Amino acid sequence: MKNIIVIGGGGQLGQCLQEVVKIPSKLFKYIFLSEQELNITNAGQVKDVFEQYKPAYCINCAAYTAVDQAEEDVELAHEINELSIQRIAEACRVHQTVLIHISTDFVFDGKTGVPLREDGATGPINVYGLSKLKGEQVLSATLNQYFILRTSWLYSEKANNFCKTMLKLAQIKDHLQVISDQVGTPTYAIDLAKAIVHIIHSGSQVYGVYHYSNEGVASWYDFAKAIFEFAEIDITVTPVNSDVFVTKATRPHYSVLDKTKFKKTFGLAIPYWRDSLNQCINNL
């Protein structure tokens, strides 16, 4: 049986992966490592974990994701999202481990207005996006056997996310303002987890960068309206432009990902965002 280590196993996607693989496999043993069990900024710990498990695959869900805070924590964001990725990639190279690394739509500037392809020009407009792009670059320069999965707007029943925040706010407010001039695709983290497991079980060696989000297009306003619709919550939601909310980090206005390459390579149907959201709300 081959080992698969999941770094960041206690985060939202890590918890969703635990949910997806809870029925034991005869081929793979999944080892979920929390931040306490593996701090990726610690080179010695990274080395020791790879020596211990000699994994066939490493799924890296660990990242610095506080987008606004990153504008001040520049060094830490790059330490976690760039330098630590190089450490992981080097350990993967030594042990001939295939790395599946999660990246983001924030590597783009959001100015194109057409679905973003893997070979499209990147141009991060905040520290978080730049640190994630640098992580992709050091990974691809260090390792040949890797899948980089860029995704967007992750939510689920686990951890903190936009969907759960909206449901909490609806308990204390009867009116919300939600941004309508930022467009992308909400992505159910369970669907992403299933896609990752599908890649592993496919045994594919078509390595490289892939885009994965749910199908369809939405603004944050559309997303919020759908959450309240499916949860049957009566609340007034007003669309506003992003300049109404002053944030430290600038966000892309358009980050719809083109999934053509992923679908062609792995032959996996991708659910429509509203269908997945309805499923998530029913579970909550």
SS3 at position 205: coil
| DSSP state for residue 11 in the 8-state scheme | S
- For residue 27, CA distances in Å to 200, 205, 237 come to 10, 17, 48
CA dihedral 123, 151, 280, 28 (to 10 degrees): -160
Listed in sequence order, the residues at least 6 apart from 238 whose beta carbon sits closer than 8 Å to its beta carbon are 175, 176, 177, 178
Catalytic annotation on 128? yes
Catalytic pick from 30, 57, 128, 155?
128
CA distance 214 to 186: 7
What span, in angstroms and rounded, lies between the C-alpha atoms of 162 and 10? 18
- Three-state DSSP at 150 gives strand
Residues serving a catalytic function are 128
